[in-house]
Amino acid sequence: MSTAATPADGSAPAPSAALQGDAALVRALGPFQLGASIINIIVGAGIFMLPALLSSRLAGAAPLAFIAGAIAIVPIAMCFSAVGSRAAATGGPYTYVGAAYGAFAGFIAGALMWICNTASSAGVAAALAGQVAQAWPEFAQPLPRALLILGVYASLFALNAFGVKLGARMIVLLATLKLTPLFLLASLGLLFVDWQYVAWSGIGSWSAMGSAMVLVVFAYSGMETALVPTGEVRDPSRHVPRATMSAIAIVVLLYIGLQVVCQGTLGAALPASGAPIADAAGAIWAPGRALLLITACVSMTGFLMGNLFASSRLLFALGRDGYLPHAYGRVDAKHRVPRLALFTHAAVGAALALGGSFESLALISGGAICLVFAAVSIAAWRAQRIDLRERGEPFVLPGGPIVPLIAVLTMVAILATMTLREWTAIGASLAVLVLVYAVLRAWRGRLS
């Protein structure tokens, strides 16, 4: 993988080189900004929709899905921390898998992840339009809905296009605005829970539990996206593990608390709720519904902001390494951001969102993310085995291959519950990606 553009003699890079590759990026992200970005992306739309979806599948046992998901995600987070502390270039899973297993594996991981990100971005934008329509029903109509979605993406592109520091500050602000009311609801709401609705009632069918786990993995996903801009993180060998593990711990506690509060306040009405978090807040305090609807919109906007920020860097990395036109690997001379990559991701996300459905996109994206998680876990094992390192002392996984093995087996178990329709969608995507890789490789061969 290509990274820095600094000449071998140590002199300053030429102006054209300074705007190409990782050397053009600014290492402006510390552990607090990175941790906020991880939380901001994870706590996006999933938690605002999942309490109802999980309750319809698992009834009173729904909180167990978040506990099981937490058990599954901790080994994944450890693997991301380990390999992220060893491969410090921008690209996230694309860089991690490529550094461990070569260009083809890295390309498949990166391209599959970008498709997952565009699908999840579109699904969240569609959910955002639905939440707005809960307060203003006119936005349920096609034209106002389309204008809202296009306006949101245009605004987020503008915020990201004028420098990484502005984007990082906006991410921290959005994370603060949405997490404060959510933590208040998850903690104070426990005082109003009717515990008979949270009582164990069995987990139902294997397929119901399986689809619930895929949705939970989707809800917990996000660190893989937030870690794409590693090339803009100060001291990644220390900050990546610290930010990743802290963010996951906070999100696990928040999700479990919110599921319990929703079940304990809405009871049998929860599965049919279109805005379960807001409805739970309204059941406790009437004005709380409007407040949490606003929070949901802020949260989803924050997700879209972080998703656009990080996913554009994935396109940047693919352009940097020649798998996309080299224009994607260049940054704006003044603000040092990859504007073409930003525009492409925003445009594709907006196009999908105009006709998107949150639940179907979440199931497909969640299954594909499980594949990415398994690939990164294997890459973490190999990177530690060959002692790959770039900057500083890396985070070492205890027990050698044990943690990656647990992570992979967990993802395989979840993937085994997916339906034929979901596997077909992912399989078709992988086939297209292999074709794209072959075409781009042949194109590069003719140009060389």
pLDDT band at 292 (very low <50, low <70, confident <90, very high): very high
Of 2 and 117, which is predicted with more confidence? 117
CB-hemisphere CA count at 13 Å for 357?
4
Is the distance from CB of 78 to CB of 281 less than 8 angstroms? no
pLDDT at residue 167 above 70?
no
The yes-or-no verdict on residue 26 having pLDDT over 80 is: no
The residue ranking higher by pLDDT, 379 or 169, is 379
pLDDT confidence tier of residue 448, bands split at 50, 70 and 90: low
Q: Which residues share a beta bridge with 229?
A: none
pLDDT at 18 over 60: no
Residue 203 confidence (pLDDT): 67
User: Is residue 223 within 8 Å of residue 38, measured between CB atoms?
Assistant: yes
- The domain locations on the chain are 28-441
Range scoring the smallest mean pLDDT among 139-143, 163-167, 212-216, 245-249: 163-167
Q: What is the pLDDT, as a whole number, of residue 235? A: 67
Q: Which of 41-55, 194-208, 259-273 has the lowest mean pLDDT?
A: 194-208
User: DSSP assignment of 291-348, as one string?
Assistant: HHHHHHHHHHHHHHHHHHHHHHHHHHHHHHTTSS-GGGGB--TTT---HHHHHHHHHH
Please tell me the predicted confidence (pLDDT) of residue 14: 43
Looking at residues 322-330, what average pLDDT do you find?
81
What's the CATH architecture for 28-441? Up-down Bundle (1.20)
Question: Do 167 and 305 touch, CB atoms closer than 8 A?
Answer: yes
Residues in the chain: 448
User: Is the model's pLDDT at 12 over the cut of 90?
Assistant: no
pTM for this structure? 0.76
pLDDT at 44 > cutoff 50: yes
Work out the pLDDT band at 17, boundaries 50, 70, 90.
very low
The pLDDT, as a whole number, for residue 311 is 85
Q: What is the pLDDT of residue 5?
A: 36
The tokens describing 400, both together, are 């050698």
Residue 264, pLDDT > 80, answer yes
Residue 405's pLDDT band, with cuts at 50, 70 and 90, is very high
- Residue 432 pLDDT: 78
Report, as an integer, the average pLDDT of 180-205: 86
- 358 contacts 49 by C-beta, under 8 angstroms: yes
pLDDT digits (tens, 9 = 90+) for 379-400: 999 999 998 887 667 888 988 8
Helix, strand, or coil (residue 20): strand
Average pLDDT of 15-29? 49
Decide: helix, strand or coil at residue 285.
Answer: coil
DSSP state letter for 190:
G
Query: pLDDT tens across 344-375, in order?
Result: 999 999 998 998 778 777 888 888 899 999 99
Report pLDDT for 438.
Answer: 81
Residues 6+ apart with CB under 8 A from 137: none
For residue 146, pLDDT over 50 is answered with: yes
Chain centre distance of CA 58: 25
* pLDDT at res. 9: 39
Give the whole-number percent of the chain exceeding pLDDT 70: 83
The pLDDT value given to residue 406:
95
* d(C-alpha 246, C-alpha 289), whole Å: 29
b/e per residue 39-54 (b: at least 16 CB within 10 A): bbbbbbbbbbbbbbbb
Measured CA to CA, the distance from residue 314 to residue 306 in angstroms comes to 13
Higher pLDDT, 300 or 280: 280
